Structure 1
């Protein structure tokens, strides 16, 4: 059951009166021979689509009054035809009240579920820090399920021993509540391991162990782990799309691992775990971690979203604005609803000038 927009709410509110007005006008113009009066029940029937029980009863009373006035005008009061019309109206009014009570109960249940989902979102997908040392960070998440707040994509950023920053972006196989539960398990394991394990490989081992305790059969999670310490970037890829690295000089490339590795939960397919690989990450560089909902987004002609070609949208001074611009370009490419959850995490290495400005200005906290 989807929330009703303001425009649709107004239309639904006026619809019962419009229907009764049309029926009353038609009966007044044509007389009793066409038998329009039973159609006054359309007013109470449509009343159950919006508003409360009192409103439904009020519209029902209005329909009864109109029926009495028109029947008197047509000399139908007390006739068999008019008795059937009264019975029809009373039956529809009763059904409308029952339907209104059921709709309001479902709306309350939906509101409760939505509030729980909002609480789950705050716990599962916490806001990432906008600044962490010499890094600036922004995140964007869009669920493919209409009105959903969380899905199977996941992300997190946390500190690592020695002052570095560790992050994860992942994609759970499947959708629905099971995917959300698995995402919560991955994030919980990452939050426990990342701040304490000595290296990113050890974090990956902890995640794999947690998945093996939970996942069976065909369940798996693709994930990319990243650690940035000083001017060094270390990546650990579990079957996830390679991150996009944008250099300060304008060049860009996908940071592919030397050897492909299976997703988390499918370690039995490959005896050797994935190997971390390192790259320089210096002043003015950008790192974009994302899920496959981005690169697999198709336009109406079936063309995939050309992420590397559209990296020029990540040029705004504010990383959040830059990521917003890229997301908008992705939506324009789709020209329709998103078909898969999409998560994007943008990390920028501050320029020397930005570092000096940050030192001069007030510190920003999470």
Structure 2
């Protein structure tokens, strides 16, 4: 890229010196620092500006017109434009450094809140994928987490908090913290669901007046799963969330619960004191896909939803990490790189103990 402004300076010098007296290409030298500012920093931009000024002085000397008002005006214009370009570079570089620091904080926050899932938990091979809808965002309203229990089982949570922005991130952090604090010690899945529902309602309403509580609806759809190590089944509680998909070979089965409970945050308000646990077979070699509605409701420019249940069986034989890589590429290609909502997917394969 540096060759472009340098070549422009050399070309203008040669042509302007060899051209007839009535032809003046010196004003084109202003393009050299203007082009450099697009790809380089302040020092290189200043260098190109200085070379452009030096070239204009050289042209004036060789043509014997250095003392004329026209050449002096051109030199002054080059100095002013070069100074402006350097100033723009300095401001831009400062803002880029600030943005880099903000991104670093965002990445650190994501690593604390949405911690990576373990690649192995007992006989399970696990992989997670999170795709934020907002560009440059690292965390939104979708969430997932896993925990081991003392009963030789793995518990997982996947959920989708209502809304977006800072409020959604705050509620996401609340649910993840409550799950990590309780998942390993709660005796049953229903007790875990009751605990999270109560913690969510209490924390999101403790500082609000009664009027604010009546007009504000904070809730999250979620699925709680418990997968024992030595029993080929999966236990789950569904709270308004899309059903998991069980892939066995090329056959796909939605694990639709007989009773889907209200989202987290509504249970206690409606007097729900018990949660029904559904049990489904989950054998060695089976693959379980958990996902949020950002996947199945992703639309392309023509308004066509992403065919998740049609595409998923194509990657059944893949490793969970490889499957999610295929899914990410295919999903982003379907929406042309622009998701309307955050999307999260968790892939779990049961291996032999």
Smaller-chain TM-score range?
A: 0.7 to 0.9
Q: Which moved more, 1:92-101 or 1:325-334?
A: 325-334
Query: Is the contact between residue 164 and residue 228 of structure 1 (CA under 8 Å) also seen in structure 2?
Result: yes
Structure 2 residue aligned with 1:264? 264
Cα deviation per residue 1:275-328 (whole Å; 9 max; x = unaligned)?
A: 332222223322110111211122343221222222223323522223323333
Aligned-partner Cα distance in 2 for 1:31–1:272 = 92
Q: Secondary structure at the match of 2:178?
A: helix
**Residue 233 (structure 1) aligns with:** 234
Instruction: Give the SS at the match of 1:136.
Output: strand
CA distance in 2, matches of 1:36, 1:77: 15
Distance across 2 between alignment mates of 1:23 and 1:193: 73
Please, which runs of 5 or more residues in structure 2 have no aligned partner? Answer: 206-215
Partner of 2:74 in structure 1? 85
User: Quick check: 316-325 or 302-311, which moved more?
Assistant: 316-325
SS class of match (1:253):
strand
2: CA distance, partners of 1:19 / 1:276 = 73
2:127 to 131, 138, 141: 138
Equivalent pair of 2:125/2:350 in contact (CA under 8 Å): yes
Measured after TM superposition, the shift of residue 35 of structure 1 is: 4.9
Structure 1 residue 331 displacement after superposition? 3.1
How far apart are residue 157 of structure 1 and its match? 1.0
Partner of 2:92: 103
Q: Write the mapping of 1:1-366 to structure 2, written as runs, cut at 5 A.
A: 11=1, 13-17=2-6, 19-20=8-9, 23-24=12-13, 27=16, 33=22, 35-215=24-204, 217-229=216-228, 230-247=231-248, 250-267=250-267, 270-272=270-272, 275-350=276-351, 354-355=352-353
Structure 1 residues 335 and 55, CA gap change in structure 2 (3 angstroms) = closer
Take 1:188 and 1:234, find their aligned partners in 2: how far apart are those partners?
A: 22
TM-score when scaled to structure 1? 0.82
Deviates more, 1:20-29 or 1:138-147: 20-29
Gap change, CA 1:130 and 1:42, over 3 Å in 2:
same
How many corresponding residue pairs?
340
| Cα RMSD after superposing both structures | 2.7
Work out whether residues 295 and 343 of structure 2, in 8 Å CA contact, stay in contact via their aligned partners in 1: yes
d(CA) in 1 for partners of 2:18 and 2:303? 55
Structure 1 outlier segments of 4+, above 6 Å: none
Q: CA deviation at 1:61?
A: 0.9
Aligned CA distance change for structure 1 residues 241 and 25 (closer, same or farther; 3 Å): farther
The 3 A distance-change label for structure 1 pair 67 and 167 is same
Contact 1:313 1:322 in 2 (8 A): no
Deviation at 1:191, TM superposition (A): 0.2
Does the C-alpha gap of structure 1 residues 57 and 227 become closer, same or farther in structure 2, counting only changes over 3 Å?
same
CA displacement 1:229-268 (0-9 Å, x = unmatched): 22332222222211112235x4322222334443323447
Moved more, 328-337 or 179-188: 328-337
| Distance (whole Å) between structure 2 residues aligned to residue 247 and residue 338 of structure 1 | 29
Query: TM-score, normalised to structure 2's length?
Result: 0.85
**Per the alignment, do residues 97 and 326 of structure 1 end up closer, same or farther by CA in structure 2, a change over 3 Å counting?**
closer
Tell me the alpha carbon deviations over residues 169-223 of structure 1, each in whole angstroms, 9 at most, x when there is no partner. 1222333344333222211111001011111122122222222234362433222
